[in-house]
Chains A and B, each alone.
Chain A
Amino acid sequence: MTVLAYWAKRTVPGLLKGACVLGLVALALVVTSVLLPRPLFVILAMSVGHGVGAAALACYVLAVILDSGQRTRAPDSKP
């Protein structure tokens, strides 16, 4: 197993966990702005909420790429 594959194997679960937590934070901000349309909540949802949501999606995409790379390399790394 190469260092990269080892790193990917260790990182993917953490990235997905982080993506889920960030996603939940973003969704909470969005829901708050819908239920309580006050200036601060609306602006937070449209700025921080969208940013955190995009970060969550980026973590997910990175995890999927790392996982796919790991699966592609796996047959070669077997003895």
Chain B
Amino acid sequence: MSRVEQGWLGFVALVSAAAAATILIWYLARRPTLGLRVKLFLLLGLGVLPALAAATSTVLGMEATTHREFCGSCHVMDSHFRDAVDPAAQSLAARHSRNPFFGERSCYVCHANYGMYGYPLTKLGGLGHVYEYYLGGYRQMSLQHALEVIHLREPYDNLNCRQCHTTTGSDWQRVPDHSALQVELASNRVSCASEGCHGAAHPFSKSPALGSTP
């Protein structure tokens, strides 16, 4: 969604919310007799306009959750965020973030679930992160402590890499390690982001013991 579209959606959400609020405050202040006109006005203020505000703000909210700034707004993601926006950084994540296809949505593009129910599953996972942040103790953690104890719940799925790197091109197949590990890569027994392969996506977050987990 372009910034212009987001701007328009935000405008519609705010204007319809303001109009609805005006109607509700007018009713609370005046308390007019409940005739047909007042009922229709209240339907506008409690039904039509709030529904419009809710729909547009939901689309905007869902779009906001895909932006890197959104992921980086929790302090435990500071290092990941700084690395992704650093033009000199050479980590796998930083190099992908500089790619216009990933751009400002680089966290989402790499970490979203791409299965049939990928979108709701990704959003549910995000809700889990928010729960952990506010109620699970992440909020009180120092960044250093967070880097040591917060990890992906499941091993990173190579399928996410293969959304772009299809593994069917001749360039990919020409690499001896690729063809030798084709089965292991397809079954996630070996990660694309392993040490010795393409390296961890966020190497600063890896202790030597964790090494190859992306």
Residues on A lying within 8 angstroms of B by beta carbon are: 12-13, 16-17, 19-21, 23-24, 26-27, 30-31, 33-35, 37-40, 42-43, 45-46, 49-50, 53, 56-57, 60, 63-64, 67
Contacts and interface: CB of A to CB of B under 8 A. Distances in A.
Interface stretch (B14-22, B95-103, B149-157, B185-193): B14-22
Interface stretch (B57-65, B110-118, B166-174, B200-208): B57-65
Please report whether the interface of chain A is mostly helix, strand, loop or mixed according to DSSP: helix
A19 B54 contact: no
B53 A27 contact: yes
Contacts of A50: 54, 58
Nearest to A59: B46
A7 to B, nearest CB: 16
Nearest to B26: A20
Contacts of A40: 130, 134
Interface of B: 10, 13-14, 17, 20-21, 24-25, 27-28, 31, 34, 39, 42-43, 45-47, 50, 53-54, 57-58, 60-61, 64-65, 70, 73-74, 126-127, 129-130, 133-134
A27 B60 contact: no
B61 A57 contact: no
Given A19-B42, A57-B46, A34 B14 contact: yes
Nearest to A71: B34
Given A30-B53, A46-B58, A53-B50, A16 B42 contact: yes
B130 A30 contact: no
B129 to A, nearest CB: 8
Contacts of B25: 20, 24
Contacts of A39: 65, 70, 73-74, 126, 129-130, 133
Nearest to B28: A20
Given A34-B57, A37-B61, A42-B64, A23 B10 contact: no
